[in-house]
Amino acid sequence: MTGSPRSADFTTAPADPTSRARLAERGLRYALVDTDDPTAFADWLRADDRGFHLATRDDEKYERGRAGIGYRRTTGVYDDGLSVDPQIPVATVGSWRGELTVPGSTVEHPSTLAAWAISSVTVASTHRRRGIARNLLEGELRTAASLGVPMAMLTVSESTIYGRFGFAPAAFATNWTIDTRRAKWNGPAVPGAVEFVGIERFRLEAAELHERVRLTTPGDIDLWGHHWDQQVGATDPDEARTKQLRAVRYRDAEGVTRGLALYRVTGGEPDFSQHVVEVDRLISETPDAASALWRYLLELDLVTEVRAQLRPVDEVLRWQIADYRAAKVETWEHQYLRVLDVPTAFAARSYAAPGRLALEVTDPLGFAAGSWLLTVSDDGAGAVTTASAVDGVPALRLTVNELAALYLGGVAATTLVDAGRVVEGTVGAASAADRMLRTARAPWLSVWY
Ligand SMILES: CC(=O)SCCNC(=O)CCNC(=O)[C@H](O)C(C)(C)COP(=O)(O)OP(=O)(O)OC[C@H]1O[C@@H](n2cnc3c(N)ncnc32)[C@H](O)[C@@H]1OP(=O)(O)O
């Protein structure tokens, strides 16, 4: 698999004319990059790397990058007046049409929403704070809306940037640091077995397993081949990290792979008994698989600390170690959403309780603004119509940001009312909203993109 395009329409949609005109007024050219052209793509990647303060790559790595993410809609802003290297863009953005899992999805009956994934947003430090990123972001949102994509999504370098464009965090993640001398395993013994697998096998089985697990995880997304290449270090075979990778899998009593872990053991100082385990990935399809893999990692000899990033907020491990304080857990906001089409987005997910909810939404960019009525039937299906306040229907007033935060059921309307970010039109409306919107398990996104 070289990419995840379900449909290629997104790659050919022209650069947004409004942003193009606004940037042209400033002497800047906003254009799609021809990703079939290795030179143009390498120049774009050079700008992307520079924007994120990454090391410069050699030509072979640029070509590998093109093979991996060249399927994306790749846009640059060029300053043709530059006296040096005007062919290197002064701003970059990459986007694609992804699939966001929504509440109610199962492997047998998947419910996903088309979502416009935005990545590689950079503006050269020589051109910062002149409104270039604003034009890139607004251009992406208008393009997505023009293609009928109901949601935009991204993960962020800084949490302060994207609220102004209508994004808000809708799924959170946790980073764990576990003192293994204190964290005695207190969970169940499980019937299957953990065994080592080669890195190539891990890559193969992890991609398959993620395809199933992401469909049961609201907030998660479909992944692309290059993601797995990067995960297992195939893009950087000579790096120390790549050479340290080890992989194990959990097979259940029937011999079916239900979980995988990729990890590195580092350090050991001062006497070889104090190594640190960095868990790069732990994917589990069943509670048994998660138990077996966590237990394996926590009981490794010559190890005193296990670190894991991007774990779910309601990680079950919390209840499987003898000493709660053996684990330091830090919460991050992670999956940011931006609603572009309210009726389509809210009809795609299912709900925990029947009822009606009026949503008065403001949106400076207009996409989601309006008075909406969400009606959930007894089977948990939802439909949204335009309607002004209806007598007896709980009502909330909110901006498009809070609408995004509520969407996956991971943030409570009652919290946002108490925070002063959502206003109740009728007393008790937030509790009514929570009964309909909240999910049993916290939504979760397992990757950066
Ligand atoms: C989805 C992703 O790709 S996340 C990665 C984001 N990119 C990075 O972090 C790479 C390093 N940073 C950069 O390249 C740039 O500083 C960017 C892309 C963050 C901003 O680009 P700029 O062109 O300088 O932003 P621009 O001038 O359009 O600013 C737009 C608005 O965002 C605000 N803003 C810009 N950067 C930041 C920031 N780092 N933190 C908070 N606010 C910011 C501006 O103040 C402005 O606000 P306003 O219009 O409401 O007054």
Domain edge (last residue) among 335, 358, 378: 335
pLDDT at position 8 = 57
For the chain, what is the largest distance between any 2 Cα atoms, rounded to a whole number of angstroms? 72
User: In this structure, what token pair is assigned to residue 87?
Assistant: 């062919």
Average pLDDT estimate for 17-39: 97
Q: Is the pLDDT of residue 75 over 90?
A: yes
Asked if residue 222 and residue 266 are part of one domain, the reply reads yes
**Domain assignment of residue 70, yes or no:** yes
Asked if residue 207 and residue 303 are part of one domain, the reply reads yes
pLDDT digits (tens, 9 = 90+) for 326-363: 999 999 999 999 999 999 999 999 999 999 999 999 99
Say if ligand 1 is within 6 A of residue 93 CB.
no
Say if ligand 1 is within 6 A of residue 160 CB.
yes
Give me the catalytic one of 62, 250, 351, 449.
Answer: 449
Domain edge (last residue) among 335, 352, 387: 335
CATH code for position 369: 3.30.1050.10
Asked if residue 292 and residue 215 are part of one domain, the reply reads yes
**Domain assignment of residue 448, yes or no:** no
pLDDT at position 391 = 86
Q: Is the pLDDT of residue 1 over 80?
A: no
Q: Is the pLDDT of residue 389 over 80?
A: no
pLDDT digits (tens, 9 = 90+) for 396-436: 999 999 999 999 999 999 999 999 999 999 999 999 999 99
Summarize the annotated binding site for acetyl-CoA as residue ranges: 121-123, 129-134, 157-158
What ipTM was estimated for this complex?
0.98
**Domain assignment of residue 447, yes or no:** no
Q: Is the pLDDT of residue 371 over 90?
A: yes
Asked if residue 251 and residue 116 are part of one domain, the reply reads no
Average pLDDT estimate for 93-108: 97
CATH code for position 265: 3.40.630.30
pLDDT digits (tens, 9 = 90+) for 140-194: 999 999 999 999 999 999 999 999 999 999 999 999 999 999 999 999 999 999 9
User: In this structure, what token pair is assigned to residue 5?
Assistant: 């395009």
pLDDT digits (tens, 9 = 90+) for 206-260: 999 999 999 999 999 999 999 999 999 999 999 999 999 999 999 999 999 999 9
b/e map 161-184, b = 16+ CB within 10 Å: ebbebbbbbbbbbbebebbbeebe
Asked if residue 326 and residue 199 are part of one domain, the reply reads yes
Say if ligand 1 is within 6 A of residue 157 CB.
yes
**Domain assignment of residue 260, yes or no:** yes
Say if ligand 1 is within 6 A of residue 47 CB.
no
Domain count along the chain? 3
Atom of ligand 1 lying closest to residue 136 CA: 28
Q: Is the pLDDT of residue 6 over 80?
A: no
Ligand 1 centroid, distance to 118 Cα (angstroms): 14
Domain edge (last residue) among 335, 363, 395: 335
pLDDT at position 12 = 81
Asked if residue 225 and residue 249 are part of one domain, the reply reads yes
Stated pTM of the model: 0.96
**Domain assignment of residue 446, yes or no:** no
pLDDT at position 9 = 74
**Domain membership of residue 324 as a residue range:** 174-335
pLDDT at position 3 = 38
Q: Which residue minimizes the CA distance to atom 50 of ligand 1?
A: 164
**Domain assignment of residue 226, yes or no:** yes
Q: Is the pLDDT of residue 319 over 50?
A: yes
Alpha-carbon distances of 282 from 87, 89, 294, 382, rounded to whole Å: 41, 37, 9, 33
Say if ligand 1 is within 6 A of residue 50 CB.
no
Average pLDDT estimate for 298-322: 98
Element spanning 282, H or E: strand 274-284
Asked if residue 380 and residue 329 are part of one domain, the reply reads no
Mutate to test the pocket of ligand 1, among 161, 221, 445, 449 (most ligand atoms within 8 A of CB): 161
Average pLDDT estimate for 9-38: 94
Report CA dihedral (33, 35, 38, 40) to the nearest 10 degrees. 0
162 is catalytic: yes
DSSP conformation letters of 355-384: EEEEEEEE-TTSTT-EEEEEEE-TTSBEEE
Asked if residue 362 and residue 433 are part of one domain, the reply reads yes
Q: Which residue minimizes the CA distance to atom 21 of ligand 1?
A: 133
Say if ligand 1 is within 6 A of residue 395 CB.
no
Asked if residue 346 and residue 330 are part of one domain, the reply reads no
Asked if residue 132 and residue 262 are part of one domain, the reply reads no
Asked if residue 420 and residue 327 are part of one domain, the reply reads no
Give me the catalytic one of 162, 263, 351, 407.
Answer: 162
Average pLDDT for the chain: 96
Asked if residue 312 and residue 363 are part of one domain, the reply reads no
**Domain assignment of residue 263, yes or no:** yes
Three-state secondary-structure class, residue 272:
coil
Ligand 1 centroid, distance to 161 Cα (angstroms): 6
Q: Is the pLDDT of residue 4 over 90?
A: no
pLDDT digits (tens, 9 = 90+) for 181-214: 999 999 999 999 999 999 999 999 999 999 999 9
φ, ψ (nearest 5 deg) of residue 395: -130, 140
Share of the chain above pLDDT 70, in %: 98
Question: To which residue do tokens 């910062």 refer?
Answer: 128
Mutate to test the pocket of ligand 1, among 120, 129, 155, 165 (most ligand atoms within 8 A of CB): 129
**Domain assignment of residue 40, yes or no:** yes
